[in-house]
Structure formats: C-alpha cells, structure tokens
Chain A
Amino acid sequence: MIGLKELHKSFGGRRALEPLTLDVAGGEVVALIGPNGAGKSTTLRMLAGLIQPSGGRATIGGHDVVTEAAAARRQLGYLSQRSGCPLATVVGDLAGLVARVREVPFEQAVQSLARAGMEDRLECTLGELSGGQRQRAMVELATLGPVAALLLDEPSISLDSEGSEHVRDAIRQARDRGTAVLFASHHLHDVAVLADRIVVLVQGRVVAQGTLAQLALAAGVPCDAGVTDSPIERIYQVLVQRGRTAAPRLTIVRENAA
C-alpha cells in the first residue's frame, strides 16, 4: 500500500535521506525512529507530496506520489508535525473542507471530532485550542474517510497520557480497517506498543529495521515479551550509537533474520 524504492532527498548539497526502500502493507503499522535530523519527517513529507524527492520512487496504493499525485492523495491521510494549517483556521470550517473533499458527510467529521472531545469547539480557531486538543483534532481529520494509507509525523507530540492513548486508539482502528500506517515518533513506548515493524534512521541512513525482537537481536539486548518491560529504549540507544559511529555500515535486519 505504501512503497518506497530507493527514495532519497538532498537539500542543496546536504543529503537528508540516503536511498530508502520500504513497503508497508495494508493493515500493517511501521514506525520510523531516530534522533532529530535522521530523515523521518523528510520521508513522510515526500510520501505526502509536500516535498519533491531528489530521486527514487514513492507510491501510495500503487500510484506514484509525483506523477500520479491526485490518485495517490485520494487514498492518503497525513498528520503534520507542524500545525498543518494557519492557526486562524476555524475547526468547523476545516472539518467541512476535509469532509467534502473526502466525500463523507459533515456529520461524520463532527462525530470524529467528538471522539477527540471537540464537539463544542467547532467555532474555535486552531489557535484557540491547546496544543494537545489541536493534535487530537488533526489526528481525527487525518483519519477521516476512506484513507488507505496513513502517514503520521510525531502523532503523540504535546499530548498527555489520555491524548496519547487517543492517538494510539486511532492508529489501531486505522490498522483494523486495513489502512497501511507509517508513523515517525520519539515516543518509544508508542512504537513498542503499536508497530509491527520498526525502521531506525540515523543521519539519513537506515541502520536497522525489523520487528522489535529482531532489533533486540541486532542490538544484542534481551527482549522480553511484556510491553512494560520492553527494552526498546536500550535497543534504540545501542542502534543509534552504532549508526552514528559507523554510519556507512548498515545493519539491515531482514524479515527472516530472527
């Protein structure tokens, strides 16, 4: 459903993302993790059509995001790390626009916003909402309608525990509907709980990818089954450190490597 083949991006002379190949199937959740500047947002923004790739190919539902942008975006839901809209935008107006473009009834958009506790905030501007409220509203709008591929850039940013749970629920529901979900996050707990596969990026390079168990194996960190005892923090530190000190040597963990 989401496909990246040798996708790469340079800003001026600086390589922001080395060639990246990745597939996310329908009903699968894949997480991009890595330190700031690793290329996570760049990857998502290229997939969303917000920035042009320097090379390679990205597809949504088999449609190239550059040459078949319309068809690709028809299946896409995207949550930006930024607000994604001017803060003077009225919540109800924005919901109305998304509903019309995605061809769902406005009432469905209102119901979605109600799930985020926004039913009485339709007349508010985005700037009048708290950061957490805004994030929850934008998550609901990103997942509104027939979305086959969902891209979320730091979906839990500025959220309290209740808000984070709301976002996790939204991702699970999308996955259960068969949506391919690719998200970038610094919240490693969310990653451990949600992701079927994890891609670790450091300085624009993939240093590891696989399931949590596969990454634990690659990092040499014991991986307990329980989520609360997840060693993901330790795995992350080991892999990122390894990526920083030996960036050209990639540790790619294949599906069958476990």
Chain B
Amino acid sequence: MTHFGALFRFELAGARRTRTVPAFAAGFGLASMAVAFIGLSAGGVMEVQGFARTSVSLLQLTIWVVPMLALVTGALAGAECHELELMATLPVRRESLVLTRWLGWSVALGAAILVGLGLAGGVIGLLAGTADAWRYLRLIGVALLLLCATLSLGIWIGVMARARLKALAIAVAIWFILVIGVDLAAIGLLALLPPSKAGWWLSILLMADPVDSARVLGLSLFQTEVVTGPTGAALRRVLGGAGSWAIVAALAAWTMVPLAMAGRRFARSDL
C-alpha cells in the first residue's frame, strides 16, 4: 500500500522540473558572491570577505528568503494535493502523498541551496581562504532546517486552504507574522512582564517561531549574545548551552507536526 519510493520519484521529478529550483540556486549563489565581493567595499576596502563575515551577512538573507520561498511553494503544493485525484485512487495512502510531496520539494529546494551556496563557497574559499568555513557550512545547515520546517508549514496551509490563491495569501500573511510579528510580540512581552518571568515566555515565543529559531541558531554560530535579540538572549539565560539543541528540536517539531496535521487532514478530505 505504501509505494513510497514510486511516489517520491514522481514528486521529485515534478519538483526538479520547475523553474523555482534553478532560480533559487542561482539566486543564492549570486547573493553569496555579491555579499562576499562587495561586503567590505563600504569601508573602502576592495577584497573578498572570508566565510565568517559572509555567513553573518547571509544569515539575514536566509531567514527572510528561505521561509518566503518555502511557505509559498509549500502552500501551492499543499493546495495542489486536492487535484491529485488519479493518485488518490491508486493503492497508496493519502498521508504518503503529502509526505512524498514534502520530501520531493525538500530535496529539490535543499539541493538548490546546497548548489547555490556551495558554488559560492568554493569561490570564496579559493579567493579568501578556508578559515571559518565551518561557520558557512553550519549556515547552510540552518538554512536546510528552516527550509524543512517552513515547507512543512506551507503544505499544511495549502491542504487546509484547498484553493491556491487563498493558500498563497495565507502563506504570505504567515511569513509576515513569523518574520516581523513575533519580534513585535517579544518587545511587547518585555514591556509587560517583569524580567524574572519574561525569560521563559520569550524562550517559548522563540520556539513557537521557526524563523526566529533559525535566526538565533544561526547567530549562535558566532557566540554572540548581543545580536541574538531578546528571545535569543532569554533562551541562553533559561537553557544555557542546551539552547541550541532545544532550537534544533523545535525546528524538527515544526517540520513533523504540520506535516502530520496536513496528512491527517488530507486523508479525511473529500476531493
């Protein structure tokens, strides 16, 4: 009943053929090259930035672009599930249709991130040396974790919304909330709660936002508490060194829970 491999091959082939994947790879490659090449020009220095500076610069781009792309792609892919009538009449589980759809897009877009950032990383390594290359590699890891989580969330949105346009609108609204809304909520919490209580609430708020989680996880690469913002600083106070693992666990949960909800919903939907 599973035919998981056949479904995965089908979904991966479909995702691979879209223009999104090469465009995403080219976009990330060009962005990282641009950051590496012009990052120091504002200071009057014309040389290629190393991996450490490039990683910091790219982190902000990653936590804005990856969720947007993944939420939109996921929402459209999720809404499209309701058009899979032929597949739904094959001896396969509907949950498998959702899971393989997520997996196909995760692999395709993940490969785009790896290719885009990987090629740029190769050029940076050749021109600026390989010092701090591990930071760059971990940045790629953070981008992949964020991709998996927000793609899953997007698919859930799409399955719930059914219609593409509605799914797209909800995905953009959710992106806005995750990227900006939660920061505003954190500021509000800080203003309302005493510092002794704010720590836990801010940590929970951080876990509740995969984008903020990825941002703090990315900044933790640089062992700096100052720039992680109120939620990141609170997490470090509350959980100490285990904070990074807690964030990874939160991102894993953000991947699995929406996916399970989407599969469950789709399995019970009338097509």
| A interface residues, Cβ below 8 angstroms from B | 45, 48-52, 70, 73-74, 76, 78, 80, 82-86, 88-90, 93-94, 96-98, 100-102, 138, 141-142
Contacts and interface: CB of A to CB of B under 8 A. Distances in A.
A74 B89 contact: no
A93 B10 contact: yes
Given A73-B91, A93-B13, A100-B6, 15 more contacts: A70-B91, A73-B90, A78-B85, A78-B89, A84-B83, A85-B83, A85-B86, A86-B83, A86-B84, A88-B14, A94-B86, A96-B10, A97-B9, A101-B91, A142-B86
A9 to B, nearest CB: 9
B89 A85 contact: no
A98 B3 CA distance: 10
B17 A101 contact: no
Contacts of B268: 52
B80 interface: yes
24 contacts: A48-B88, A49-B88, A50-B89, A50-B270, A51-B270, A51-B271, A78-B89, A85-B83, A85-B86, A85-B87, A86-B80, A86-B83, A88-B14, A90-B13, A90-B17, A93-B10, A93-B14, A94-B10, A97-B9, A97-B87, A101-B92, A102-B90, A141-B86, A142-B86
Contact of B91 (A74, A80, A84, A138): A74
Contacts of A94: 10, 86
Interface residues on B, range: 20 to 34
Given A86-B80, A100-B3, A78 B86 contact: yes
Contacts of B270: 50-52
B42 interface: no
A98 B91 contact: no
Contacts of B17: 88, 90
A98 B13 contact: no
B163 to A, nearest CB: 14
A140 to B, nearest CB: 12
A83 to B, nearest CB: 7
Contacts of A83: 83
B14 A96 contact: no
A97 B10 contact: yes
A97 B9 CA distance: 8
Interface in B229-260: none
Contacts of A86: 80, 83-84
Contacts of A96: 6, 9-10
A117 to B, nearest CB: 20
A52 B14 CA distance: 29
B86 A80 contact: yes
A106 B13 CA distance: 16
Contacts of A80: 85-86
Contacts of A45: 271
A84 B7 contact: no
